[in-house]
Amino acid sequence: MTHLFAPFRVRGLELRNRIVMSPMCQYMAAEDGIARDWHLVHYGSRAVYGPGLIVLEATAVEARGRITEHDLGIWSDEQVDPLRRIVDFLHEQGVPAGIQLAHAGRKGRARGERIIGPTAEAFRPGDPVPEAMDRAAIREVVARFAEAARRAVRAGFDWIEIHGAHGYLLHEFLSPLVNRREDEYGGSEEGRLRLPLEVVRAVRAEVGADFPLAVRLSTTDYAPGGLDPAATVRIARALGEAGADLFDCSSGGALPIQPEEHPGYQLEAAIRLRRELGVPVAAVGRIAEPEFAEAIVANGWADLVVLGRELLRHPSWPQDAALRLGVRPEPAHPYERAYRAWEHGLRRVGSGRALERPA
């Protein structure tokens, strides 16, 4: 058994391997935020190849929290059953279902919605100017996250990830480059942490003690005076004390800065977080080669490997990675015939090359 294909437990949930499908917006929902057939086919076609966990894309906790009018939503009861249809199919394939609860904040672009943020400052010149949130608006957002978590449980989800990265609302409050408030929700790091902490506590109260709760963090703002890995350690420590179990380590998005990307470009921050806090972390960022994914887990750099664009290109990656690493594939039953060559001493990889089975 390789490390990548070893089981992993968080609270009451056990994943059969360490491969996670990253939340990636599809912008294919109906304008009322309801999931469509696209979502069932998209997530279902990855589930049949057996990742350890699939996390649905950023799903808005209120209508004005969408990135576009075609984002998924979980702010109304009418949105629950279409999501449950997806969850049920993933469960039939033996794959736990996660959902990323999100609020776009000042980066919201849904038509007809008035956007909000920590201050009345646009993401970049020419963008819509958000309304600065007063205390009542802050309390309302916390309540919307809690209600969304309640609906996620009703829909059958096994895992919740709170989106605290990529320049969306919770990241906007965390980043000193964006949050210029002078009240108790700004100023010091303690103040900037207040809203994310309230959200984590509210969601934990809704889901109970046995439910896994992750947070995606941007570990750096890529700009002087912004968030960096040292600050992320302090932020994660506080969020963990509030009820978060695992941190999905991403980066950027608070400012219109595009970092240079290469395989594992966000890995160093994940390693530091895991080493200094001893908490489970997920590594994400241009991870494509099975051997690299195996090394990440085997070396203790991260507990989970999160694949994004690679799973858009290559839905069968979990099975092909198993073949490359000498692990018996476990595809959905109707696909087993495609892997019988492995049983006869051969294993096939995504490129179509036939390799001798390892001894």
Which one of the listed residues 43, 168, 185, 222 is annotated catalytic? 168
Count of domains observed in the chain: 1
d(CA 200, CA 189): 17
Can you tell me the distance from the alpha carbon of 117 to that of 139, in angstroms, rounded to the nearest whole number? 13
Q: How far is 175 from 221, CA to CA, in rounded Å?
A: 8
1 within domain boundaries: no
Q: Can you give the CATH number for the domain in which 127 is found?
A: 3.20.20.70
- DSSP assignment string, 288-329: --HHHHHHHHHTTS-SEEEESHHHHH-TTHHHHHHHHHT---
Of 197, 283, 195, 191, nearest in space to 236 by CA? 197
Q: pLDDT at position 359, please?
A: 39
Catalytic (active site) residue 49: no
For residue 229, the enclosing domain spans 8-356
How high is the pLDDT of residue 331? Answer: 83
pTM for this one? 0.94
Residue 276 forms part of a structural domain: yes
Per-residue pLDDT of the chain (359 residues; tens, 9 = 90+): 799 999 999 999 999 999 999 999 999 999 999 999 999 999 999 999 999 999 999 999 999 999 999 999 999 999 999 999 999 999 999 999 999 999 999 999 999 999 999 999 999 999 999 999 999 999 999 999 999 999 999 999 999 999 999 999 999 999 999 999 999 999 999 999 999 999 999 999 999 999 999 999 999 999 999 999 999 999 999 999 999 999 999 999 999 999 999 999 999 999 999 999 999 999 999 999 999 999 999 999 999 999 999 999 999 999 999 999 999 888 898 988 888 766 666 554 444 444 444 43
pLDDT in tens, 257-303: 999 999 999 999 999 999 999 999 999 999 999 999 999 999 999 99
Would residue 3 count as lying in a domain? Answer: no
Please write the tens of the pLDDT for every residue from 100-144: 999 999 999 999 999 999 999 999 999 999 999 999 999 999 999
146, part of any domain = yes
Task: Say if 2 falls within a structural domain.
Answer: no
